[in-house]
Structure 1
């Protein structure tokens, strides 16, 4: 089975091109020094864009962006700076959209359009229209509005002679037409995008060439598809591009030549794609391309070469995409099946079946896996197991209710019943298979209609002959009744002709209705196939997004571990005890944040942290970091998951409080207890409770006057949680923090 691992629609959402800001501190200095009000407004807007485009969608970042935009807005109105005013609205829209408030964001986008239209600021107007297009959802029946708004953005960019942005917008515009199956229009718009790129002087055109080539292949014009694919390849090589984009171009060319049965050419491009996938260390792509190469090698009867390639990929690369893993194992399975090494094939079949049990596959994928397993068990003559898999596919075919699945089910049902000697059921299954075979079905029905027509004509002629014979006999026997008999025959003949005409009309209407029904069914099947293809593409995008998000959290965790290692290395060179203590305290704080990201990438739900596991791990880490043999830890943690914005402050608060209790609560190393509780008071209100039975706070201790780093951190983090802090003595130090979880699930 061939694999296309990168789809044609590269952008499902066009994000307006707000320029990336300079380094934050430098911008703040420039804002302070700038006396020209217009330039100061521009710098404030650039500073806000820094927070809007900053990785992540933190509420604090969006709030900071809005503060700077409010200052810029005041200046713009004061000096009647209309371009700045329109850009301010545009940036406000982006800030609200990034913060999740799409309703307010859309209102600001419309304000930007109105302002920039009034003052003929066309380049920014184009950005405002592209921002507005972001608010129309193609899955909510708003595709017409999305397309129309994007078209306005393109025209605005053209009027501003900003041809590069016009080209980028036109590219997305063309892709929207693919989504609504208007392929000719999509090609037309993609070519307009190419012209605009050239007009803008762009050199790296391989991406747009590749998309146009793939569009031609989809619409059936393979020759033009290959032409643009080769042009994409040539352009990428001229630009020195060795990225995954070039890997995709080679893989697509290989698939196109493979569809034309030009295996040698296909193999060359697949091999080039594999080299690039390995250069970029993309394990998923290595699996997909290896599968494609192995399919051709098996066709060439190069089974050993195919097996070596497949097993090398499996051994040397660890893919994360479950589709890629199943695909490569299936490829190795089929290679061994082709060489009739059934025992070795079984090993890879078992891996696939194990993945089937562990993962929540779509019905189509389970159907394919069962089909694959049926091949093995039928080949080794285990007809009972084959029958079990075929029966499971019957339920899946019933759920999916598409013709290809029913056809596969019935042909396997026929094979199994035939092998088991159940010829009656085998015959019924074969008849059902024929019923779902469109072309054979059409021929059979045409033959049946022709037979009925011949039979009808024969019966009609026999009837005419009988009538004539009867008339002749009547004429010879009764001459006196000749006229009346002739009149009766004439009437009877007329009635017969009328009946024949009526019957022919009825048959014609029935046949026309039958043909219309066939056409309608055919169209519905084609539409279902297109829907299924789009569902597969969306599933692939979702899997890819989840993989990328896990990779980000993993890398953040690794970076924080590096920071801890650097702090640890630095501490080795410090002799000052207070400096060493500060370094170690920082290590503990960094570790508390590192645990957050570790939990995120290890969890299936990457949006929240299970607090019992997190607090337990953090406590264990702090116990191991100090001599706590004299201290017992008592944990009572509510079973609740918190968002990262809640978990990080709580982790840092716990780190500070537990560290202080360990270090200062038991100075004589007496036996002690540190209690930690996270309790849910109401539906969305929680209390974090940390206490020890140590020496407690001094009698003259005043929390408001205290200026230690640890306490300031606790106070500041409590404010970040919009919570309240209560610190007091009760046979030891007690810290109570009450807060509201706005993201409570």
Structure 2
């Protein structure tokens, strides 16, 4: 609420002078200011000691300069100065000027001129601020547009590459080659989707949870299995390092794809839980758990013929972490990364 009020005050100051292009409005308000200042000076005249002829006129000059600009402020200063000279500086009710009155009049001219100049400088600074704010707004809009266009083009190019691999698969007769092209196409398409999620348009990085939620939904949707349910359980979230985003996504996607393909083989439904937590002060633990068939006895990634799992282990090493499949109460793919 405080920041919004501050922003409203800045926008109000940027619109000063208020009556630019509306001289009739400014003239009416200025005339009212002068009349009120003169009325107030007469009202307090008896209670003031000698030597305060301008006491109620200074605020009128400041207000007029602040609201309507230096020209109107100078006009108010001139009218108020004449009123003070005529009514409140000896000889009263005349424009005769004694020596002491000349000093007072000179002091008045110096003070109101200083006020008007300072206010004029402030308003010029506000006008420059308004221009800078508008320029910054336009630059921000341009940056956001270019950012979205870049994300869109990168993602589209990767999707095109994935589509080309899928087309090339039709010309491959070997079943293993077709499966390899399928996997490559799937991973390229996944990286294309990841590129849309790494950053916000403002340039801020996402948290791991913000990154994993749409990723896991994409993997489940790509599998075509409507009975698979995936939940994200985050005990301690953290900012996502952009350099680790693609490897992390590929590892989590591979663990989920492995659970869907093998853990839920011959099953229409299943539950996958992606769990994120701290493991001590130095490690972040990401686990993909499923309630599927479980791992066979003596299973190890090194002895497995799954290229995807070996790639996941290799990517984990590149991130200075570890990746493994564990036989617990649920089959668990565990990724440990430096915090």
What is the TM-score when the length of structure 1 is the normalising length? 0.35
User: Which protein, 1 or 2, shows the higher relative CO under an 8 Å CA cutoff with sep ≥ 6?
Assistant: 2
Equivalent residue number for residue 507 of structure 1:
105
Equivalent position SS for 1:607: coil
Within the alignment, does 1:582 sit opposite 2:183 as a pair? no
1: distance between equivalents of 2:95 and 2:289?
109
Within the alignment, does 1:646 sit opposite 2:257 as a pair? no
- Please give the per-residue CA displacement for 1:303-326, whole angstroms capped at 9, x wherever unaligned: xxxxxxxxxxxxxxxxxxxxxxxx
Equivalent residue number for residue 293 of structure 2:
694
Note closer, same or farther for the CA distance 1:690–1:739 as it changes in structure 2 (3 Å cut). Answer: same
Note closer, same or farther for the CA distance 1:705–1:505 as it changes in structure 2 (3 Å cut). Answer: same
**What's the offset of the Cα at 1:512?**
1.6
Q: Determine which of 617, 627, 635 is the counterpart of 2:217.
A: 617
- Please give the per-residue CA displacement for 1:205-231, whole angstroms capped at 9, x wherever unaligned: xxxxxxxxxxxxxxxxxxxxxxxxxxx
Equivalent position SS for 1:407: coil
2: distance between equivalents of 1:403 and 1:532?
6
2: distance between equivalents of 1:510 and 1:587?
83
Bigger strand fraction: 2
Q: Determine which of 531, 536, 539 is the counterpart of 2:134.
A: 536
1: distance between equivalents of 2:192 and 2:94?
93
- Contact kept? 1:696, 1:732, Cα under 8 Å: no
- Please give the per-residue CA displacement for 1:696-737, whole angstroms capped at 9, x wherever unaligned: 2353x4444557532321112212332222323347743211
- Please give the per-residue CA displacement for 1:23-57, whole angstroms capped at 9, x wherever unaligned: xxxxxxxxxxxxxxxxxxxxxxxxxxxxxxxxxxx
Q: Determine which of 211, 225, 231 is the counterpart of 1:635.
A: 231
Note closer, same or farther for the CA distance 1:683–1:427 as it changes in structure 2 (3 Å cut). Answer: farther
Equivalent position SS for 2:240: strand
Bigger helix fraction: 1
**What's the offset of the Cα at 1:634?**
4.3
Equivalent position SS for 2:273: strand
**What's the offset of the Cα at 1:684?**
7.1
Segments of 5+ residues of structure 1 without an aligned counterpart are 1-359, 364-395, 416-422, 464-498
1: distance between equivalents of 2:317 and 2:124?
58
Equivalent residue number for residue 676 of structure 1:
273
Note closer, same or farther for the CA distance 1:507–1:434 as it changes in structure 2 (3 Å cut). Answer: closer
- Please give the per-residue CA displacement for 1:642-661, whole angstroms capped at 9, x wherever unaligned: 34333322221122223333
Note closer, same or farther for the CA distance 1:554–1:399 as it changes in structure 2 (3 Å cut). Answer: same
How many residues are aligned here? Answer: 298
Q: Determine which of 121, 124, 147 is the counterpart of 1:523.
A: 121
- Contact kept? 1:653, 1:717, Cα under 8 Å: yes
Segments of 5+ residues of structure 2 without an aligned counterpart are 37-59
Name the stretch that deviates more: 532-541 or 678-687. Answer: 678-687
1:363-382 matches, cutoff 5 A: none
Equivalent position SS for 2:197: helix
What is the TM-score when the length of structure 2 is the normalising length? 0.70
RMSD: 4.2
Equivalent position SS for 1:573: coil
Equivalent residue number for residue 16 of structure 2:
405
**What's the offset of the Cα at 1:575?**
2.2
Q: Determine which of 158, 164, 170 is the counterpart of 1:560.
A: 158
